[in-house]
């Protein structure tokens, strides 16, 4: 139904308008418990021990979560959980409230089933978002994470100021979320990706780690565009400080391998590309992160997930959990539940006790 009718109608609208309309449509589901139960039933969202994941001291009913960027202000966590996501990454939020980057800032590439965005981090500020999450938290049946980023007003070349800005956001959200993600990899905030360098990352992540409470989990989200040396620098800091996990990866600035005509891509301009064109690189980075950090690290794989096969490839590459955003936009509201059910069948065919037994177990070519 979604693929044949509703998506076509939504795709007649500008991407930003369609996104706002989708969030508005989830409003009643967010507010009404009986409607959430009805949605879960309609989406066939049921717990299945074959795909239950227990990591970070948390219980994930499915390895398939929602990536950061879809619900930037954490307005619809109850509704999104009802659709079948096993966890939610909300935000990215910043210490200072800020508007989106100038429009147009969101673009579809239907031939590639991809998106390009240069939204920045539009949000009402970490304090405001955290207040809303505290009200919702007891009513959201899946783990909730909040992504934090640099406020636009903070100069990127003042590392001490950047660290203080992240710390302010971290302090605001840490008791409202099950985990906090330090987003140092968005391409849409000037200078942000420099925080992935060894010294900058050490300054930031050590400051955040020092403020963790006994139940605060801290993860870092990395870019797919780092070279091998840059990946090693960042992961060395992660290992040194004892960060709880890594999310691999954010959107890419690469435009390689697109089907969309080059003239169209050039006309769109800057922004982070997400969706299937990122899939192969995301898997490469997941494998590298797992190899570097070892079996005990928590790795969340993101990039081009549209089917259970895509999710399982990331799991076999070393991801404990996976996330999706663009695949959800193109696939529709039934997508997370469908992938979860298909994953359960795949686990059964493998003869594995659960999906956790397949993490990092690559198939022979």
Torsion of CA 272, 275, 277, 282, to 10 degrees: 80
If you write DSSP's letter for every residue of 121-175 in order, what string do you get? --BS-HHHHHHHHHHHGGG--S-EEEEE---TTS-TT-HHHHHHHHHHHHHHHTT
185 is catalytic: no
Angle of the 279-293 helix axis to the 308-317 helix axis, nearest 10: 30
Most distant CA pair in the chain: distance in Å?
Answer: 53
Main-chain phi, psi angles of 141, to 5 degrees: -85, 10
DSSP classification of residue 98: B
> What sections of the chain are H helices per DSSP?
7-10, 15-25, 27-31, 33-42, 77-82, 126-136, 159-173, 198-209, 228-241, 262-268, 279-293, 308-317, 326-331, 335-350
Tokens of 132: 């809303």
Out of 62, 147, 151, 186, which one is annotated catalytic? Answer: 186
∠ Cα 199 213 81 (to 5°): 95
If you write DSSP's letter for every residue of 275-302 in order, what string do you get? SGGGHHHHHHHHHHHHHHH-TTSEEEEE
With b for 16 or more beta-carbon neighbours within 10 A and e for fewer, the 217-231 pattern comes to bbbbbbbbbbeeebb
| Pairing of the two strands 58-60 and 106-109 | unpaired
Q: Catalogue the active-site residues.
A: 186
């Amino acid at each position: 139904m979604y693929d044949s009718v509703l998506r076509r109608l939504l795709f007649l609208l500008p991407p930003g308008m369609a996104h706002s309309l989708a969030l508005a449509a989830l409003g009643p589901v967010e507010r009404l418990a009986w409607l959430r139960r009805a949605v879960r039933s309609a989406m066939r969202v049921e717990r299945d021990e074959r795909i239950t994941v227990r990591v970070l001291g948390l219980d994930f009913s499915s390895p398939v979560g929602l990536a950061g960027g879809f619900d930037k202000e954490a307005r619809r966590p109850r509704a999104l959980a009802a659709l079948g996501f096993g966890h939610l990454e909300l935000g990215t939020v910043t210490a200072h409230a800020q508007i989106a980057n100038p429009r147009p800032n969101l673009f579809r590439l239907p031939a590639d089933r991809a998106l390009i965005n240069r939204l920045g981090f539009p949000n009402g500020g970490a304090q405001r978002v955290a207040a809303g999450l505290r009200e919702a938290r007891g009513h959201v049946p899946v783990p909730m994470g909040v992504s934090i980023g640099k406020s636009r007003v903070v100069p990127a070349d003042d590392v001490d100021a950047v660290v203080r800005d992240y710390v302010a956001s971290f302090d605001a959200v840490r008791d409202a979320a099950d985990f906090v993600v330090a987003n140092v990899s968005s391409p849409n905030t000037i200078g942000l990706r420099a925080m992935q360098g060894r010294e900058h990352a050490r300054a930031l992540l050590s400051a955040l780690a020092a403020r963790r409470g006994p139940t605060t989990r801290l993860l870092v989200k990395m870019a797919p565009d780092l070279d091998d040396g840059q990946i090693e620098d960042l992961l060395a800091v992660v290992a040194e400080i004892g960060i709880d996990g890594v999310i691999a990866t954010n959107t890419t600035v690469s435009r390689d391998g697109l089907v969309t005509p080059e003239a169209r891509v050039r006309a769109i301009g800057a922004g982070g590309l997400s969706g299937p064109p990122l899939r192969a690189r995301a898997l490469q980075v997941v494998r590298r992160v797992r190899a570097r950090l070892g079996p005990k690290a928590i790795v969340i794989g993101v990039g081009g997930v549209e089917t259970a096969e895509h999710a399982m490839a990331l799991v076999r590459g070393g991801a404990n959990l996976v996330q999706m955003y663009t695949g959800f936009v193109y696939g529709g509201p039934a997508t997370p539940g469908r992938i979860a059910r298909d994953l359960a069948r795949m686990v059964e065919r493998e003869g594995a006790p659960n999906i956790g037994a397949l993490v990092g177990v690559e198939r022979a070519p």
